[in-house]
């Protein structure tokens, strides 16, 4: 199955390469969609899904979601997406970086780090 084969890859770059190599229409549509998205956000989302599936509690998942959201709304790509879709409506965002291969593991890791005093709590 295309989904199992392609999306089981370790990195976003490998997933895109597998979809491109697949050659069917559905896979090509997924590549086209992924190429419209912020490369940084694509990599954050991939890590988020993979880590979230291993977390023991709902609260741990919500802390991760909160950390990502807290940082993402302050990021260049979030603001650029708002500009491109809502403000200017040119639908032509200028992502930074603009390619998956230019987004480092360190760039992604910062979204998952604890927020210190701003960390989400559940009365604990």
Tell me the pLDDT tens digit for each residue of 70-123.
Answer: 999 999 999 999 999 999 999 999 999 999 999 999 999 999 999 999 999 998
What angle separates helix 58-72 from helix 39-52, to the nearest 10 degrees?
170
Q: Are residues 21 and 72 in the same domain?
A: no
Q: Does residue 46 sit in the same domain as residue 104? A: yes
Residues 6+ positions from 93 with CB-CB distance below 8 Å = 38, 77, 80, 81, 83, 84, 85
- pLDDT above 90 (res 41): yes
Same-domain check for residues 29 and 71: no
Verify that 27 and 46 share a domain, yes or no.
no
Asked whether residue 28 falls in the same domain as residue 63, the answer is no
Residue 12 lies in domain? 1-35
Same-domain status, 60 and 44: yes
Q: pTM above the 0.85 mark?
A: yes
Q: Do 16 and 42 fall within a single domain? A: no
Residues 16, 67, single domain; the answer is no
Q: What is the domain count for the chain?
A: 2
- 97 upstream amide cis, omega within 30 of 0: yes
């Amino acid at each position: 199955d295309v989904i199992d084969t392609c999306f089981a890859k370790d990195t976003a770059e490998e997933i895109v390469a597998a979809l491109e190599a697949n050659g069917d229409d559905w896979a090509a549509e997924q590549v086209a969609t992924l190429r419209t998205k912020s490369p940084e956000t694509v990599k954050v989302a991939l890590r988020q899904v993979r880590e979230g599936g291993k977390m023991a509690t709902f609260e741990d998942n919500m802390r991760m979601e909160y950390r990502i959201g807290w940082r993402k709304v302050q990021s260049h790509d979030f603001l650029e997406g708002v500009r491109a879709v809502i403000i200017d409506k040119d639908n032509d965002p200028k992502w930074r970086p603009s390619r998956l291969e230019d987004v480092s593991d360190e760039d992604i890791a910062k979204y998952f780090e604890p927020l210190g005093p701003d960390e989400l709590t559940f009365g604990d």
